[in-house]
Structure 1
């Protein structure tokens, strides 16, 4: 019953972002070979996962002009983007759920596990008072994008910070509707879903990667920012893709080329302790956000999302068909997180 088809991908992504945008996005991304065979009325979890990633990638480019300019260069040169992973940030309050959402990363575990993802590793981000988790796909671990889901531990901050965080995040709404839940049940029960149901559900999945709490006041934003730029970022951007990452052959050479073009790329490349993972990124593009400030509303430029690059070295000995070092690194991640520290 496991059906894969480029037509399925096109139909799913078009349901979320429109026909023209779906065609352009899928033509830009490297699509795993395992998803190239024709199928029938059912969509596999791997196909749905790729469609979700494609739609989220499109959404990130709409918010990140620097990344969009780079991707335009790739398209004009006849190349493609190999989407390695997308990253998002979540909040864990000191006790209980986050409004209507399960606490922290669990808000996305409920989406990702039925689609075939599992937590591959845990990454303490101690300097940021966060924990990162890498979600890797069981069916196509090397070919499908991973999700790096970080969780902010509110209980590690000051009592004043905790009070503001409770106020900002404690009323978060749950974006999932009956259609999305039905699709999740189908994938969890048999790894496939009816194409029509999947097409209706995908826009809801995509919307879940957004901000589902009320916008913060300027006072609340500044209180969060004083102790955690990451918390302030979540306050304005929610669980949107913090960054999308392009897997490239030589991240150092790419960084040098982008620097010569005058693009705002990180000053140096982050290298993992193992030496197998090298990363760099463009600095976050600023976005305008409105804040309530007493009786008036003010507009501020704040850090938005960004575009990242990664090079993964081959493993000395392949493991379960995986030939690349698919791991992450706490030091690398904390260095990359600085891309959204200022606008």
Structure 2
């Protein structure tokens, strides 16, 4: 599978299941050239066979290499990012929950979910946009949500892009993240203002913002409920001393981006 094919499948799943409004945002920002996707983000648990390495494998097989490592202590998360030699291909940001640092109740629920996974499904990249690999009750979802929004989101939605990200560097109509934010507000979108509407700064070589997540219908074992889905992000990168754009991520900024899926 080529990068273009894989990302098209991830995009189709994202706008159909997780963030339907992304299609409208995409149209609002579309110019003459196709929009460049700066990165996508994926979530997982750190329990075998579902750790970061499992999600990274399909990307490594199509030419991606490891970038930076990140730690989010308060959320009990670690993350890695991956890059492709072609700078127009999106970066991949994969995070995982350190389940062993969570409560016994959360560990038990997640353990029941992971026990349902048919491991052979992980041998194909299709699982990356395949949704849930387990059944989940709404009551278990609510228990997880009380302790970890991250865990409840992943348990409810399974695998798919938590967000896509427009590269602001490419846009002609807007040069600043705040201008993109205002354009979207004027069109009726809500911007994530946790930690300020723009996360990061030119000093750390990266600025980011995002919409708040769509509310989407999810089927639980007892019926359908509306919960937060995916969101759309916007990123502006600044040049390093060698003139190339900064390729990494800023943990303090990403920490606040995670809040975009808070209900």
TM-score, normalising length from structure 2? 0.89
Matching of residues 78-227 of structure 1 within 5 Å: 78-93=32-47, 97=48, 102-137=49-84, 139-140=85-86, 142-174=87-119, 176=121, 204-227=124-147
Q: What secondary structure is seen at the aligned counterpart in 2 of 1:144?
A: coil
Q: What secondary structure is seen at the aligned counterpart in 2 of 1:68?
A: helix
- Please state if 1:279 is matched with 2:204: no
Offset from partner CA, 1:76-117 (integer Å, 9 cap, x none): x54531111111001113xxx2xxxx2410112321222111
Offset from partner CA, 1:271-309 (integer Å, 9 cap, x none): 1594210000111111112323xxxx3321111111110
1:333 pairs, out of 254, 257, 260, with 254
Root-mean-square deviation (CA), in Å? 2.0
Using the TM superposition, give the Cα deviation of residue 136 of structure 1 relative to its aligned residue in structure 2, in angstroms.
Answer: 0.9
- Report the Cα distance in structure 2 between the residues aligned to 1:81 and 1:108, rounded to whole angstroms: 25
1:303 pairs, out of 224, 228, 231, with 228
Q: What secondary structure is seen at the aligned counterpart in 1 of 2:240?
A: strand
Give the match for residue 312 of structure 1. Answer: 237
Greater fraction of residues in helix: 1
Question: Is the alpha carbon distance of 1:167 and 1:272 closer, same or farther for their aligned partners in structure 2, counting shifts above 3 Å?
Answer: farther
Give the match for residue 23 of structure 1. Answer: none
Q: What secondary structure is seen at the aligned counterpart in 2 of 1:324?
A: coil
Q: Choose 1 or 2 for highest CA Rg.
A: 1
TM-score, normalising length from structure 1? 0.69
Give the match for residue 173 of structure 2. Answer: none
Q: What secondary structure is seen at the aligned counterpart in 2 of 1:315?
A: coil
Using the TM superposition, give the Cα deviation of residue 227 of structure 1 relative to its aligned residue in structure 2, in angstroms.
Answer: 0.7
Offset from partner CA, 1:223-282 (integer Å, 9 cap, x none): 111110110001111121000011013212111111122211223110159421000011
- Report the Cα distance in structure 1 between the residues aligned to 2:177 and 2:15, rounded to whole angstroms: 20
Q: What secondary structure is seen at the aligned counterpart in 1 of 2:160?
A: coil
Q: What secondary structure is seen at the aligned counterpart in 2 of 1:317?
A: coil
Give the match for residue 289 of structure 1. Answer: 218
Give the match for residue 72 of structure 1. Answer: 27
Using the TM superposition, give the Cα deviation of residue 207 of structure 1 relative to its aligned residue in structure 2, in angstroms.
Answer: 4.1
- Report the Cα distance in structure 2 between the residues aligned to 1:176 and 1:160, rounded to whole angstroms: 27
Structure 2: give runs of 5+ residues left out of the alignment. Answer: 170-175
- Report the Cα distance in structure 2 between the residues aligned to 1:256 and 1:210, rounded to whole angstroms: 34
Question: With CA pairs under 8 Å and 6+ residues apart, which has the higher RCO, 1 or 2?
Answer: 2
Using the TM superposition, give the Cα deviation of residue 213 of structure 1 relative to its aligned residue in structure 2, in angstroms.
Answer: 2.2
Offset from partner CA, 1:141-193 (integer Å, 9 cap, x none): x221111000111001111211111012222223648xxx6xxxxxxxxxxxx
